[in-house]
Structure 1
Amino acid sequence: MNRRDFLSLTAAVSLVPALARAGSMDYAPGLVTQALENGETVFLDFKASWCSTCAAQERVINALKAENPAYNDAITFIDVDWDKHGKSKLAKSLRIPRRSTLVVLKGDEELGRIVAGTSKADIQALMDTALTAATA
């Protein structure tokens, strides 16, 4: 491997954590626990691909992320597929009543939640709560 290829590869690998944080991660068992143990503030989005309320929430979340890049920099966003994980240990432990539920966690504390709400002001308030916790 020549030096130019090595430097390009090194630069690309160093961007992986930033790119992973820029979007939402798909839930897998253990992911939330690991993120919380690392001191991250976690924004969980329990959703289903067929849910119109979930789609409306996603549009608002994406618009807010575009307006304020600090959300992506500080908060770990995790999408939880309701069809796959609606009856999981995570959903049961958090007492998630249905899809279209948004929850913010930090450490062992729930900082807030929205169930089936699509108001930009409400979702922004929840994201601001997460941002405050993440940057404190």
Structure 2
Amino acid sequence: MNRRDVMILGGSALLLAGRASASNIDYVPGLVDERLAAGETLFVDFFAPWCGTCRTQERHVEALRAENPAYDQTMTFIRVDWDTYGRGDLAQRLQIPRRSTLVVLRGEQELGRIVAGTRRADIETLMNLGLS
């Protein structure tokens, strides 16, 4: 391995280490049930990559997470791709009406949700439900 390869690998490891604490987990079937059974509080984002409302929500969520590390210490952030899983079991079970729906879950309870809302204050209020 030459010096360039070592530098690239080292830099990649640092990037991954920095992202691990504040990253989103991409949904796969069974993930939500598994994490809830483990006692985690979940912030579940039903999004579509082409959705403008979803992008606005994401900007607010990411800014709030950057400002308050307690969100990442308290909640697991899961992104559910609407195009892939919008008609799936999870969306049906939670009665998710559309993309751009944000839901906070703990145990058997839904603590709150926002459907197509983009006000930063509303998103912060939702996220704060996961802190208590």
How high is the TM-score relative to the length of structure 1? 0.82
Match of residue 4 from structure 1: none
CA RMSD, aligned part only?
Answer: 1.6
1:1-136 alignment, distance < 5 Å: 20-132=20-132
Structure with the larger helix share:
1
In 1: Cα distance, 2:78 partner to 2:104 partner: 10
Query: CA separation in 1, counterparts of 2:20 and 2:31?
Result: 13
Q: Return 5+ residue gaps in structure 1 as ranges.
A: 1-11
**CA drift at 1:74:** 1.1
The aligned counterpart of 2:4 is none
- Give distance in 1, aligned partners of 2:75 and 2:63: 15
Q: Which moved more, 1:21-30 or 1:78-87?
A: 21-30
Secondary structure in structure 2 of the residue aligned to 1:79: strand
The percent identity for this pair of structures is 59
Structure 2 gaps, min length 5: 1-12
Cα contact 1:21–1:77 (8 A) shared by 2: no
Give the aligned residue type for 2:54. Answer: C
Letter paired with 2:94: L
User: 1:19-77 CA distances to partner (integer Å, 9 max, x unpaired)?
Assistant: 54421100001110010000000010000000000000000000000100110111000
The 1-side partners of 2:27 and 2:21 are apart by 14
Q: Match of 2:130, SS?
A: helix
Aligned length: 118
